[in-house]
Structure 1
């Protein structure tokens, strides 16, 4: 009996050697990222009894977390954690959410994007969007190898990460067919968007002032305010969108989601919105809140699986 047990333990570990590379962390770029300039800044990882917060990202990456092959639905989601464009709530709105998606057969790709408020950016507001575009292209380029469909890749964003996600969803491009880098030949358009208590507008009336100043500076031009007020950038080609927000959010007013929802309706974009009366801001999976709010992941998963892509 003991000999059999020893074999049972040794053989599976040998067979799993390649599988244990999951999750995979990859740099977004080979060499120096675009829009980069030399600075003394180095990445800072802050950890407290609640979450991990990453600041001053100079080497943007993606962390790829895949479900078991037998459970895979063919969908993938690039996740943009929030943090007011000052940092990234990497476990709270990244790792834990990825695990929830994996448990339902959905590949999850956590984006650690550059932040605009450090000195390593030439033009601060450009870096986050460049990184989000690159993450979508990499996800699409590797779809077959990572076990999902290249036309079922969505983006999910929380708070300021929701602003980044919705900026990509309204400012994507088709790729460069003649690019030397095959990754750059792919479209950066997400096939669907999931926006959680998102910063949408840069307009004074209901903008999140911290996100706006970190992204655009203290005195942004009217042109920049318009460009990054994403409710004004929706078009018929904006991907299907799910919005989730709480009405008592005092940091990012619910008007942000409502404005984007109305813009989607105006342009014929498939959209769904769930507004909860409680939850405040930054509730992540809402485990501690309980009640209906904690079921938002179920509504989200239902919506993804019923999309006709």
Structure 2
């Protein structure tokens, strides 16, 4: 299904929103100067978890354009949350898990850029730099989920410090970060790590969850091959494949879900979102989904100029507002 302007208006979006989206589509997104977090906090207490021998972090710059930084963090040894604090917090918190095929974590286009956008609207944003399952960690396939659970708990434990409402915590993920997110969607209460402090007494279930062009299924027919191999290894058994395919783990008590995907995505097939959407619909779990004919993969905020998909941040914002998060 492709949503054009007429369909969006029929769905109840206002003319001012449509006009804003049209203006955004005509004008390429430009990077605000000096995007940087206001703070960075470790996800785990010092010394936990044990870092695999020889693992070292490094940042790789993938863009030659000074106005379009595209950095990735690889070899993550210190999983952490980078925090973007608004001048006047509105109480909402959004945790973002950028993509990277479980090989690295994107810093800018699916992390800092959207965090800045949210910060400017009063939202406290947290960028999650999660451990990568192919880097030698114990229990590799559950490592990203453990970090996601811990992130939600840690954000809730900081509610008074960061000026947020612990009952208005959203989680969002892009690409492989979308698999982190949808795993949290369906396995938020799975026992994938031993509690380490008081934060682990808090709920790891987000209040709402968004997945943007997400890796979801581990079915070889539609899976993102690199993400699948990094998460499960070269020869996973059927049980492991099923456990780590969120569309096969849906449950009625999972958080309300927002899905967005481009149908011409050649990296992560749109069937990933379609299957999860269908599975949620069949059990009556709340799910809003948007599919666009064009957009490809990894568009973030920067690569939507001239396309209907440029409206996606406003669609997400309206959904968060309807769910009383923002």
What TM-score comes out, normalization by structure 2 length?
0.83
Distance 2:52 2:75 in 1: 13
Q: Residues 109 and 302 of structure 2 are in contact (CA less than 8 Å); yes or no, is this contact kept in structure 1? A: no
**Residue 158 in 1 paired to residue 174 in 2?**
yes
Distance 1:53 1:174 in 2: 29
- Larger gyration radius, structure 1 or structure 2: 1
Distance 2:53 2:190 in 1: 32
Distance 2:111 2:149 in 1: 18
Structure 2: which 5+ residue stretches go unaligned? 1-35, 64-68
Identify the residue that residue 118 of structure 1 maps to in structure 2. Answer: 135
Aligned-pair Cα RMSD in Å: 1.9
- Which among 91, 106, 113 is matched to residue 108 of structure 2? 91
**Residue 251 in 1 paired to residue 267 in 2?**
yes
TM alignment of 1:20-31, pairs within 5 A? 23-31=38-46
What TM-score comes out, normalization by structure 1 length?
0.87
- Which among 186, 204, 227 is matched to residue 202 of structure 2? 186
Identify the residue that residue 53 of structure 1 maps to in structure 2. Answer: 72
Structure 1: which 5+ residue stretches go unaligned? 1-20
Q: Which moved more, 1:24-33 or 1:227-236?
A: 24-33
Equivalent residues, number: 283
Cα deviation for residue 82 of structure 1 reads 0.0
Q: Residues 174 and 188 of structure 1 are in contact (CA less than 8 Å); yes or no, is this contact kept in structure 2? A: no
TM alignment of 1:256-267, pairs within 5 A? 256-267=272-283
Distance 2:234 2:250 in 1: 25
Q: Residues 73 and 106 of structure 1 are in contact (CA less than 8 Å); yes or no, is this contact kept in structure 2? A: yes
Q: Residues 52 and 135 of structure 2 are in contact (CA less than 8 Å); yes or no, is this contact kept in structure 1? A: no
Q: Residues 174 and 187 of structure 1 are in contact (CA less than 8 Å); yes or no, is this contact kept in structure 2? A: no
Distance 2:306 2:102 in 1: 28
- Which among 62, 81, 84 is matched to residue 62 of structure 1? 81
Q: Residues 38 and 84 of structure 2 are in contact (CA less than 8 Å); yes or no, is this contact kept in structure 1? A: yes
Per-residue Cα deviation, 1:236-295 (whole angstroms, up to 9, x for no partner): 011001101000001111111111111111222111111110010110114453332111
- Larger RCO, structure (CA 8 Å, separation 6 or more): 2
